[in-house]
Structure 1
């Protein structure tokens, strides 16, 4: 794996830390800016909205830029939004910086994904994507608690300064490892738009959104589930979150090594694992020795879907991957938004926290249901298949015996 791919993973770690760290800083921010906790919580929601729209807009807008120039521009703006956030005393300005930072973070994800795939080569695209997504997983294990500790001991602004410094280091990494000039595979707008007309691509996006929603509906309510239903002390929450993150890192690493050869098989096993873990959690929320392993299982199997769904999108897109990758980032963020929303509806209706397990299992079942549809489509005669589907068909054949 080229060194540049790992440095792109570092950049995702820096930006992913910002995405996650506000979950541990809301009380400090609310007190300092004299706003309510729900108002401070909007800083998290606004980040998700910025990512949802940022990926396709910036991927489209920078299509004719060199990928190096685009990523450097995104990192510069991202760092500056955190400097502004650290300096402001205005809630409105901080909210605006969160939206702007998420906007360019989504653009960076889209361009970095294509760059990593190109550097690694088609035989290692899933491994490359597991390195990038691994940066976000490490942000869950390291960045989130580190940002929380900084905020608690040095003030929440120190966490913003730390992200700005990490972004500057990522900027230096891109400068030193990503080649200058435009890629040999220069994106062409017409070809990119034509690739988006492939129904298989939108089926892959459905898999991405549903599988992500299945994880996030559970992850978003872990803290109250553990304290109010499972009966654990609050001090156990960071430990269990860390174990969840370790499981996620293991899952994404193993999946990165299997998804290039067997993307569909990896998805079936991973989604099956999510369903089993979510059902176990729903049935055993009041039993710590069952609930905790179930939560770790959700992290392990849930994150294992990531390299497989990314590899699938790049396989379908073929030689026009930029917009396809950008819309896949948006699909992830649809799952991030919809999963917790469904969980909130169930809890507001009076259901207990076991409901988030059942909802997670149902979403994973729907995601698993997209796999036979994809296999059926990729199993069509060669003459009827879009050119980008050939590699997917060959991968599917190893599972189905076709």
Structure 2
């Protein structure tokens, strides 16, 4: 007697687990938070630093320019010097240099030493952005890279919301040196956390300087960089002059303006998170919509800056769609070139140049006699130029869509 063979049903396939965000991403964001706090702290400590260093207030303002210039020019040079190191080793070298530079600023006996300290910390900050983004690309799942980038760059937004007022509060109560020492200690602690939590990534394939810089010879990459410069330039042309505009044009009091700037910072955090979730799958649509919205908000601000409600709407709208486009800008660059530190650092330099160009052009408008609304119109103009810089990619994407989807050509 034979028995019928039994059929075994295969166990159901285990559902694919969704990729999770590595802890490293959050730690890198914390590092950027510490360095951004250092970058911005001078702007709120100008009077006390001027008295402490016995120089006029404009001389203290130049410290911001020295930092930005060092970030834009020194950052790539420092990134080149670190090319042959593992990424984690490069991060630790940068943390050590930054702590030394910030400590030098805290203990500086005079203005010249402070300038040197700002140049060191600015160059380190520029290189750190590039290496941090390269590590982010390595550790994050491909599906999460846009959001991971937004979390790393979120340190910039949080530094504006929390780090800047925190450093200034310490400076006002315990002196500007205490503010610098606090950032020194914060950076040292973050460096230790990084050493303990960031994995020792595999050594990158050794590449010559010629190979590393080959990507930078591509005209298309510089066209992509230009969009980043224009987006950030448009935002900072306005942001740099928000305080006098809100006080002297809109008519808000001294107690209200800081609250509005905090609300602006919160808007940047929200916008950064939203863009980060959309950047991978919808890079060009996000940038297109963002630039159109940025143009609209800055135009609204320019037209109705003397009306409190429209001014606040425009302020918050600029926060939602201005610097928050960074994750999409970074994603676009990484798709155009490699995700290695040198390209990322040069991209950071181009973003920093946007800060310099935007604030400078806004100031020129005021100096030319066009009033405090001039920076808003300068920002709107730069946003329009940023949109125009997207047109070649938008046209190419449309052609590809038509070639792959005949229905897109013939219609319903």
* TM-score scaled by length of structure 2: 0.90
Q: 2:384 aligns with which of 365, 368, 371?
A: 365
SS of equivalent residue, structure 2 residue 370: coil
Give the equivalent residue in structure 2 for 1:387.
none
Alpha-carbon contact 2:148-2:276 (below 8 Å) kept: yes
Pair 1:17 & 2:28 matched: no
- Which position in structure 1 is the counterpart of 2:181? 161
TM-superposed CA distance for 1:83, in Å, is 1.2
Matches within 5 A, 1:381-396: none
Q: Is the 8 A contact 2:237 2:361 kept in 1?
A: yes
**More displaced 10-residue stretch of structure 1: 295-304 or 94-103:** 295-304
CA distance in 2, matches of 1:312, 1:200: 11
| Residue of structure 2 equivalent to 1:337 | 356
CA distance in 2, matches of 1:379, 1:16: 38
After superposition, the C-alpha distances for 1:153-180 in whole angstroms (9 at most, x for unaligned) are 0001111011111111111122112222
After superposition, the C-alpha distances for 1:269-303 in whole angstroms (9 at most, x for unaligned) are 11111111100100111111111121111111112
Q: For residues 379 and 312 of structure 1, what CA distance do their matches in structure 2 show?
A: 17
Q: Distance in 1 between matches of 2:161 and 2:289?
A: 24
Residues 127 and 206 of structure 1: CA distance in aligned 2, closer, same or farther (over 3 Å): same
Q: Distance in 2 between matches of 1:70 and 1:354?
A: 44
Aligned match for 1:207, one of 218, 227, 237: 227
Q: Cα RMSD over matched residues? A: 2.0
Spell out the pairing of 1:56-95 with structure 2 (5 A cutoff). 56-95=76-115
Is 1:279 the counterpart of 2:296? The answer is no
Q: CA deviation at 1:194?
A: 2.3
Partner deviation per Cα, 1:212-240 (whole Å, 9 max, x = no partner)? 00000111001111111111111112101
Structure 2 counterpart of 1:106, from 112, 126, 132: 126
For 2:90 and 2:341, how far apart are their aligned partners in 1? 12
Change (3 A) 1:335 1:249: same
Aligned to 2:282: 262
Preserved CA contact (<8 Å) 1:284 1:290: yes
Number of aligned residues: 387
User: How far apart in 2 are the matches of 1:70 and 1:321?
Assistant: 13
* Contact 1:46–1:99 (CA under 8 A) maintained in structure 2: yes
5+ residue gaps, structure 1, are: 381-392
Other-structure match for 1:27: 47
In structure 2, C-alpha distance between the alignment counterparts of 1:122 and 1:89, rounded to whole Å: 49
Aligned match for 2:217, one of 197, 209, 213: 197
| 8 Å Cα contact 1:192/1:322 also seen in 2 | no
The change in CA–CA distance for 1:374 and 1:150 in structure 2 (over 3 A counts) is same
Cα distance between partner residues in 2 of 1:67 and 1:162:
27
Contact 2:362 2:376 in 1 (8 A): no
| CA shift in 2, pair 1:183/1:269, >3 Å | farther
The answer to whether the Cα contact below 8 Å between 2:250 and 2:311 also exists between their aligned partners in 1 is yes
User: Does the residue aligned with 1:235 lie in a helix, a strand or coil?
Assistant: coil
Greater Cα offset, 174-183 or 332-341 = 174-183
Secondary structure in 2 matching 1:350: helix
Deviations 1:94-126 (A, max 9, x none): 111011111111111111111111111332222
